[in-house]
Amino acid sequence: MATFIDGFLWYFALAVFVIGVSGNLVTIILASRKVDLSVPRDSAFSGALRTLFSRFLPDQHMLSRIGIQVVAGYMFHLGLFILLFFAAPHVAFLEENILGFGWTAAPHWLFIVASQFAFLGIIMLWLYRMTNSVSRLISKLDDHVATILTFLVMLSGCLALLESFETLRLLHRFLVELLLIYFPFSRLMHAFTFVPSRLFTGAWFGRRGVDS
Amino acid sequence: MLKQNMVSPVGDILKFLSILMLLVITVISQPTFAAVEGEPEGVIMKNPGADLWREVRQRNIAIEGISQIKSVDSGILINPEADRWTRFRVDQLVNYAAIILAGLALLLLVFYLLRGKIKVEGGLSRQMLHRFSDYERVLHWTLAIVFLFLAITGLTLLLGRTFLIPLFGQEFFSLLASSSKEGHNLFGPIFFASLIMMILRFVKRNIYEKGDLTWLVKGGGIIGKSHVSGGFFNMGEKTWYWIVILIGLLISVSGLILVSPNFGQGRVIMELSHIVHVISAIILIAVSFGHMYLGSVGTEGALESMKTGYVDVNWAESHHDRWAKECRDNNRVISADKFNRLQGKINSGTEESGSVAVEGNK
């Protein structure tokens, strides 16, 4: 089982992830669009850049209604980012198995705090999805599967923190591989598509002189 | 070398010499030990190290010695208090915790079989009142999920050695205990954070007021059939709230002391924190059984408030009549149709007017 998880399944999952994500992005970028013949009122480029960053801030008029999503969303995403790229075992793994170089890992206390933020964030986001009637209606099975799978990956990783049990490490790695395989076919793709999406919308508005 | 603070230098020298002598005896006795291996069975050999360690321990209190390591309790080689703590944990905490929790679960089962589900007086009205916002329900369920996770992992750590090893074996239990410990330590501060959010959001509505005592005297309507008056939260709910907050804070503070042993707290404080942590947690888990029972199978219509945010008007009249009257006075009653539309449970033109859809979305 260990040979399968550390060997074939790992390479298969990685291939599905890389090919799937690349394929999705290429398809989006190369998708045919109508040529805009109107006279531009402003720069599409500056509009694209502005929107890419301005959407990190919530709309002031909506803030009172979307407070939970904004706060919990930032807690989860920032926490997950630190876990993913700055947890000492992850840095070592990336260096040894994929990149060939590493960087300074986060101290243990930061890893713990980041994971606590990420857990609280993902639990609150999922509960909001379930309790708010509009969010519940627009949610598909994919959203729940993606949330639960991400939660299980995080949880199994944290439970294996002592690195004393091979079974826990294998469980974590197996769940990561499932997530990698599922990723390109789910809304988890937003981790990559949010950039071209914002750029496209921003350029479209920018060209028409709309401050978005 | 151990050094007792209260004795004279002569005492120190004598103690040193006696320990040295014991060490010499221990070393010398090794060949003898080897020589008796060939002796017939039944010859009882005294453990050569026993006297040495008895001398090191000296008496029934912790003795501070000198150590190169400068930290709290680093000069104490043997802490007899820890033995008492271990015995208390193994002989009393584990047994009583298991008896209390199992007994209470059984009691609730018997109560349910005898009393059944408490029905809403006059049945459900098909008119609804908004009771909890999305944020309030998210808070409630966040605390509930984290609490359940901590209860399961905590009970695994407390009772697992006694109850799980015979079932799953030592190897699997060691894996389970290790992951439970990591998970418990990780989720503890999340419980604390959820508790703080719970205090900020609900404290105002949980301050005791006039009329709450009447609710208590009448047993909240569970005992007997008489109607009991209540506001937004009745006396029972307020008491549950304060139990969660106060005992939850006690659990959180004692847990933080346990999970962060690098703030100068010694072994005795850690042992006391552990006892406070476990006893408080057992009380909270035990009382939460009652909350879970009354909030789900025990009372008709209660779970709806935390599922949809809305409750039936007759349910509100039964358990929170003062709040229901306030809602009626302010025209906050909505029809079943409107409730269903708000919940997205109606396909336009196909619904049966006046009935509340109880199933999930189409």
Closest to A161 in 3D by CA, of A80, A90, A82, A81: A90
Question: How close A108 comes to chain B (CA, Å)?
Answer: 12
A–B CB contacts, 8 A cutoff, strictly below: 67
Chain B positions in Cβ-Cβ contact with residue A148 (cut-off 8 Å): none
Residue A51 lies in a domain: yes
Number of domains in chain A: 1
Distance from CA of B134 to the nearest CA of A (A): 6
For the question of an ipTM over 0.85, the answer is yes
Distance (Å) from the alpha carbon of A37 to chain B's nearest alpha carbon: 42
Q: How high is the pLDDT of residue B20?
A: 57
What pLDDT sits at residue B12?
60
Please report which confidence band the pLDDT of residue B263 belongs to, taking 50, 70 and 90 as the band edges.
confident
User: Are the Cβ atoms of A131 and B137 closer than 8 angstroms?
Assistant: yes
B contact test, residue of A131, A158, A167 with most B CBs within 10 A: A131
On the CB side of A162, CA atoms within 13 Å amount to 18
**pLDDT score, position A194:** 94
- Chain A residue closest to B181 (CA)? A159
Domains and CATH numbers, chain B: 9-78 (no CATH), 82-331 (1.20.950.20)
> What rounded mean pLDDT belongs to chain A?
93
Q: Predicted confidence band at B316 (pLDDT cuts at 50, 70, 90)? A: very high
Minimal C-alpha gap between A151 and chain B (Å): 13
Instruction: Indicate yes or no: CB of A124 within 8 angstroms of CB of B142.
Output: yes
pLDDT score recorded for residue B81: 78
Cα B342 from Cα A134, distance rounded (Å)? 9
The CATH number for A106's domain is 1.20.950.20
Long-range contacts of B254-260, Cβ-Cβ distance < 8 Å, separation of 24 or more: B254/B280, B255/B188, B255/B192, B256/B188, B256/B189, B256/B192, B259/B185, B259/B188, B259/B189
Q: Which residues of A touch B342 (CB under 8 A)?
A: 133
Domain that residue A78 falls in: 2-207
CB contact under 8 A, A168 and B175: yes
Nearest to B141 among A112, A127, A168 (CB): A127
**For an interface test with A, which of B147, B186, B192, B361 has the most A Cβ atoms less than 10 Å from its Cβ?**
B186
The answer to whether residue A212 is domain-embedded is no
On the question of pLDDT at B2 being above 50, the answer is: no
- Using an 8 Å CB-CB cutoff, list chain A residues near B133: none
In this predicted structure, what is the pLDDT of residue B266? 84
By the 8 A CB rule, do A209 and A41 touch? yes
Confidence of residue B177 (pLDDT cuts 50, 70, 90): very high
Cβ contacts (< 8 Å) between A115 and chain B: which residues? 186
Give the closest of B146, B174, B186 to A115, CB-based. B186
Q: Which of B319, B298, B114, B324 is nearest to B221 (CA)?
A: B319
Rounded to an integer, the average pLDDT of B272-283 is 95
Query: Residue range A82-110: average pLDDT?
Result: 93
Q: What is the pLDDT of residues B333-356, one digit of tens each?
A: 999 889 999 888 866 544 444 555
Q: Please tell me if residue B137 touches chain A, with a CB cutoff of 8 Å.
A: yes
* CA distance to partner chain A, nearest, from residue B190 (Å): 6
State which H helix or E strand residue A68 sits in.
helix A63-86
B134 and A132: CB-CB below 8 Å?
yes
Determine what percent of chain B is predicted with pLDDT higher than 70. Answer: 79
